[in-house]
Structure 1
């Protein structure tokens, strides 16, 4: 049965008749007033390093993932499990001061906030709800200037507790600052097109592939992924994570719901940096993310190191890919060290999952070691 599922998935990936995503022309200049556009990477003074993973390690074009047999994809939905926490280490600022309300100003003119909101509606046609959670909501939308699909994320201002500064000095929510550091020109991170402040919300306009699905729904629609498909996707996720850490950014909420797949090109994109923070060498003493992805050291000792906790999350994601379920969803504390894996998995795949999910963080592989692992290289050790 596993062989038939694997063959079906590979056949879906190789379908030659699938239409690849066409490149979109750049948007035409927007009328004033307009929301803030992110400054280009040339103005970045944050000292971001070059990507750790070489572009040569990825294929020039990923294979398409959509199959007619799979049917229409379900909408991307936020996890029912609460995410994030309080207290993110790093130099952040709290926003203070009042924001102009939506009504007319004292001299009878429309306020800047109202103009910005009207400008947003004039440039985008809103569509269906993609997800809702503690962070706010995400709507599908279409850019009217060129028909490009986008996602509009709306976050209540009273839920944004951490702010930073963009390279041009603009104060912005930390999520936007982190996205600016990692997303420019890197295909494995969702691109932020623009953002603006409204009286009660911060709005982000994000890239949205025309045919897309989050990894959780992609797995659920198929039960589990064969190792070839899982390797192809996991390699991209690892490359995106290494790129983030090389830029000094820690995502802290890596899970299938936060990995978006472009079904036409096969590109995996890391999304939702709402729990993210700056990478630091010292241990973190506050948790942000999804509770079921917390590493054992946090539960036992109340601290964790960023990269080791990331490898733990990646191990859970890989298990979900090839097994179709979270390894510790049921009584996960009691199953540490007694992980049961299907016999159909190759010894190399089993070994990689077990090492990523080592109870001792010092026994987990580094992000660099993961890239060189035999299973990642499709090498079978006798």
Structure 2
């Protein structure tokens, strides 16, 4: 928006979250084709003897690599490093936990859940965009890279510079032979964050596609993307609630969600989030503050200034009062639609250990379908 199954998968979903730590003493496996192709798209020079080495000599790729370095350095300096430092201080056990992370309305954003929760075993992303095909040698060798590489940069520029994406632009830019969807963008973001891509798994519930990768610490992790309609009437049939019900509870991230959870059209998703989350980290476009019961501990960061102009009808007076009374510390990074750090704010809602999983005040359908 602006950012807004198979039975076998369900039987094994509870097992997939267990992290596999590989010893540093183990020999490194050779890079996969998926990993090499993703690194090429990310502007990282292929190794000697790679089928992509000749493509990297082209002026268009040289320019792409320079621009990707510039984009990533900007993001690392202003967003990634400050968020990781902040998260280690304020999210504490959630920052270091391996519990799965849920991120609805994700669009092309595979990096912000890793900024806040870098050790999660599974990142469950969901939005309506097509997953597309993973990068491969064949698609790169047969593509018009002079036209495709700028589309990669443009598809990620909003996210890396302004912290949100524009759905219409993402769909326009990914309608190409190299992209065709979100998987190539997820792949680029993961390898830029120091991950090594292992494989792609298809055929999951609701058309889910998973990227299996090794994080920088050598831990096996998974990104599962659900290309689904999250509205009431479509969510239950998507297979997503059942999948989430078969893995451990964990944090939910809501960012630049077009205020869709403020209305009645996404009440089932709102109830699902409140039911299964151990922590909700969100900007004001997520769940309205009135839906959090007394069993949730609310912390505020940054000064709430209300929505940007095009969403002005979603102003929350109760959030404004609670934030002002809390005298919250400033945020050292931009978040959501507020692309200046001094204007950004977020809420961290942590479930009380005594709050039953089904406690979700004012939710019309608190139990997942």
Q: Normalising by the residue count of structure 2, what TM-score does the alignment of the two structures yield?
A: 0.31
Q: Normalising by the residue count of structure 1, what TM-score does the alignment of the two structures yield?
A: 0.30
- Specify the structure having the higher radius of gyration (Cα): 1
